[in-house]
Chains A and B, each alone.
Chain A
C-alpha cells in the first residue's frame, strides 16, 4: 500500500468535492433567488441568449471546451490507474556509494527468504506455526520499506509471535547490511478449530 496513493486520493477527492459544492451552492442560490443582485434573476433560462450568442459568435469556443474536457478525462484516467499501483520495487540497492558500482538484490528473493524466516522463528518462539506470511518491499531501491503481513492461528500467543517476527526482521536488516529498514507489520488471526 503506497502512501502516495492515499495523498493523491485525498487531494483529488477534496478538489472534486470543492468544485461540486461551490457550483451546486451557487446554482441553488440562484434558483431560490437568494442572491439575485449578485447572480441574476431566478426565472431566466440556464443557457441564456447571451451565452448562446457568445458560443455562436466565437468559433473557438467548442474546440476549446473539447480540449479542456479531454484533459479532465485524461487526468481522471491517470488518477484511476494510480489506484492499481502497489509501489513494490523489483530490486534493492545494496551499495550506498555509486562510486563503487552497483549491487542489486532481487527484492522478491529477499522477501521470500524473510517469509520463510518469519514462519520458522514464529514457530520456534513457541507460538503455533503461522498460517500465512507475505512480505513485500516498496519505497525506493536505495531506501526500501518492508511491508509484512502475518496470519496467525487465533490460539497462537501473539507476544511470542511478535518477538519471532522482530527477530526475523532484525536478521534481514543484518543480511542487507543496513540499519535503516522501516517496516510495517500487519497481523491477522484465523479460526483454526
Chain B
C-alpha cells in the first residue's frame, strides 16, 4: 500500500484545492498503480507448464507396470540426488531468490504508469504519461527565446531540463526557462509537486 503524501513539501499550492487532495492522491495511486501483467503472465505460464509436467510424470508413475511404456530416464538423477549436492543447493537458492522477487513485485506499489494531476471534478482521475509530460515540457522549454534545443528528464519529484543555446551571453536564460516550465507545471498541477532544475549549455553553431 502506498501511504499518501502527508507533507507535500515547501512548494506553494497554485490554486485553492476544491477537492480533498489526499483522497485524490489515494484514488490516483490506486488507478495508476502497475497491474504487474508481465510478471503475472510469465509466472502463470511457468506454473501451468510445471503443473502439466507433474501430471504427465504422475500418470506415468501410476500406470507403470500396467502398460508398455518407455522408462522415464530423465527422472533417474532425481532419485540419486542428495540434499547437500551442489545441484540441489543451487536449485534451492534459485527458488529462494525467485520467491523473493515475486514477493517484492506483489507487495511494492511500483512506479505509477502515469503522473497524477489534480482535477476539479472529484469523480475524475486525470493523469499524463511520463513520456507525454516530458515531451510537452521540452516543447515549452524550447519555446523560450534563445533556446535552440531542450531535453527533459523526469525523476520522482524533480524535472530536469537541459537546454542548449547558441547565445554567447546566456546568464538570464536559466531563469527564463525555469519560469516557463514552472508556470506550465503549475497549470497542470501534478498531485505530487515537482521541482524544476535547469541547466543551460552554450553550443557553438
CB proximity of A167 to chain B, nearest CB, Å: 11
CB proximity of A48 to chain B, nearest CB, Å: 10
Q: Which residues of A have CB within 8 Å of B96?
A: 20-21, 24-25, 28
Please, how many angstroms separate the alpha-carbon atoms of A33 and B84 in the complex? 8
CB proximity of A185 to chain B, nearest CB, Å: 4
Chain A 7-43 near chain B by CB (<8 Å), digits 1 or 0: 0111111101111111111011011110000001111
CB proximity of B29 to chain A, nearest CB, Å: 12
Please, how many angstroms separate the alpha-carbon atoms of A69 and B55 in the complex? 6
Q: Is the CB of B128 within 8 A of A24?
A: no
CB proximity of A126 to chain B, nearest CB, Å: 13
Q: Which residues of A have CB within 8 Å of B126?
A: 162, 184-185, 187
Closest A residue, CB atoms, query B139: A154
Closest B residue, CB atoms, query A47: B79
Q: Is B94 an interface residue (CB 8 A)?
A: yes
Tally B residues with Cβ within 8 Å of A: 73
Please, how many angstroms separate the alpha-carbon atoms of A77 and B129 in the complex? 32
Query: Which positions in A face B, CB cutoff 8 Å?
Result: 1, 3, 5-6, 8-14, 16-25, 27-28, 30-33, 40-47, 52, 55, 62-63, 65-66, 69-70, 72-73, 75-77, 79-80, 83, 152, 154-155, 158-159, 162, 166, 169-170, 180-191
Query: Which positions in B face A, CB cutoff 8 Å?
Result: 30-31, 33-37, 39-41, 43-45, 47-48, 50-52, 54-55, 58-59, 61-62, 78-85, 88-89, 91-107, 114, 117, 119-121, 123-129, 131-133, 135-136, 138-139, 184, 187-188
